[in-house]
Amino acid sequence: MARAIFEYTKTVLKNVSFDTDLFCKELEKSIKRLLPFEIEELRIWLLQFTVNKPELYVCMSVINNK
């Protein structure tokens, strides 16, 4: 079940990546739901996902504080 939440989180973040504010909000919500090791996986995924999306770098502070 936990893995499904992680995959769902990635899908949601991909779908809202057009809006920085919405992306940050969804990222904050996902951090509350995920397990600590999944947050680490999400951090790695975000680094790869945002390589070509510099507008989303501001949201990285949300996950770096966890």
Q: How confident is the model at residue 62 (pLDDT cuts 50, 70, 90)?
A: confident
Q: What is the mean pLDDT of residues 21-49?
A: 94
pLDDT in tens, 1-29: 668 999 999 999 999 999 999 999 999 99
Structure tokens at 58: 């501001």
**What is the reported pTM?**
0.89
Instruction: State how far the Cα of 39 lies from the Cα of 56, in Å rounded to an integer.
Output: 17
Q: What is the pLDDT of residue 65?
A: 76
CA pseudo-torsion sign 42, 40, 63, 47: negative
* Number of domains present in the structure of the chain: 1
Q: Domain containing 19: what range?
A: 2-64
Is the predicted pLDDT of residue 36 greater than 80, yes or no?
A: yes
